[in-house]
Amino acid sequence: MKRQIPNIITCFNVFFGCVACVFALQGQFEVAGIAVLFAALCDFCDGMVARILDVVSSIGKELDSLADIVSFGVAPSMILFSFLQKILPSDLQWLSFFAFLIAMFSAVRLAKFNVDTRQTTSFIGLPTPANSLFWIFLVIEMNKQGITFSLPFIVILLFCEFVFCYLLIAEIPMFSLKFKSFSWTENKIRFLFLLISLLLILFLQLSAFPVIIGLYILMSIFQKEIAK
């Protein structure tokens, strides 16, 4: 039974991802976003519990990737798709299907992660949970602000999607939030990121997440300079 505890947590990751998809189709973007946050919590906890219980397995690794494609690939695609369906005029509804590029590139990202031995302590390319949180909470904020159809806006939005899809599979080092120790010297960039993120959440609440992910990308790109 002990060996199955991490896998049970991973299955709840799938559950919350599915819940997010349902609420996305209903246009309840905030509820969908909260469901993905719970999925992200499960994604964080399953690996940690597996290491604590010393029950790491190849099946668990594969199950984790399958769960992630639902919660951090399909769910954000469904949320963006539903939002675009809402604001696009009938003759441009076909553009909403570009939202599923997120799911496609997330699947490639996860496949690369599973076979890439360089990503044990850090990441190469944008992690799927980070990409997912960016798009979900960007949609929540746009919906909250009552954004309506504008062709320049749609062009910019789809361009941003293409950029983030590229970042998922790009050969760009990204730091992880896994702590081997709590020394300032070894974890300077992590502590700075978490501190700034906390302040942003306090001031901006859920609207902070797109900003936080943007900050994560920039800090990852310039992490060598920040580490100095």
Helix spans in the chain (H): 5-25, 29-53, 58-69, 75-87, 101-115, 128-144, 151-169, 184-204, 208-221, 223-227
Integer angstrom CA distances of residue 6 from 9, 13, 31, 41: 5, 11, 25, 13
* Residues 105, 144: Cα–Cα separation, whole Å: 27
Taking phi over 0 as left and psi of -120 to 50 as alpha, with beta for the rest, 146 belongs to: left
Q: What is the mean predicted confidence (pLDDT) over 73-98? A: 94
pLDDT level of residue 218 (50, 70, 90 thresholds):
very high
Summarised one tens digit per residue, pLDDT across range 108-161 is 999 888 777 776 667 888 999 999 999 999 999 999 988 888 889 999 999 999
SS3 55: coil
Interior/surface letters 33-61, b for 16+ CB within 10 angstroms, e for the rest: bbbbbbbbebbebbbebbeeeeeeeeebe
- Domain-wise residue ranges, the chain: 2-174
Report the DSSP pairing between strands 173-175 and 122-124: antiparallel
CA of 94: how far to CAs of 29, 118, 218, in Å? 21, 39, 32
pLDDT per residue as tens digits for the range 25-80: 999 999 999 999 999 999 888 777 777 777 767 777 778 888 999 999 999 999 99
Question: Which of these, 126, 2, 109, lies nearest to 55 by C-alpha position?
Answer: 2
What is the pLDDT confidence band of residue 179, given thresholds at 50, 70 and 90? low
Model-level pTM?
Answer: 0.88
Spatial contact of 134 and 119, defined as CB atoms under 8 Å apart: no
The sign of the dihedral angle between the CA atoms of 52, 57, 62, 66 is negative
Task: Give CATH for domain 2-174.
Answer: 1.20.120.1760
pLDDT at 226 over 70: no
Contact 38, 11 (CB under 8 A): no
Question: Quick one: DSSP state of residue 74?
Answer: I
* Rounded distance between C-alpha atoms, residue 122 and residue 209, angstroms: 21
Q: Which residues contact 37 (CB under 8 A, 6 or more apart)?
A: 133
Q: Is the pLDDT of residue 227 over 60?
A: no
Write out the two tokens for 189: 């960039």
Average pLDDT over residues 186-204: 88
Percent of the chain with pLDDT over 90: 56
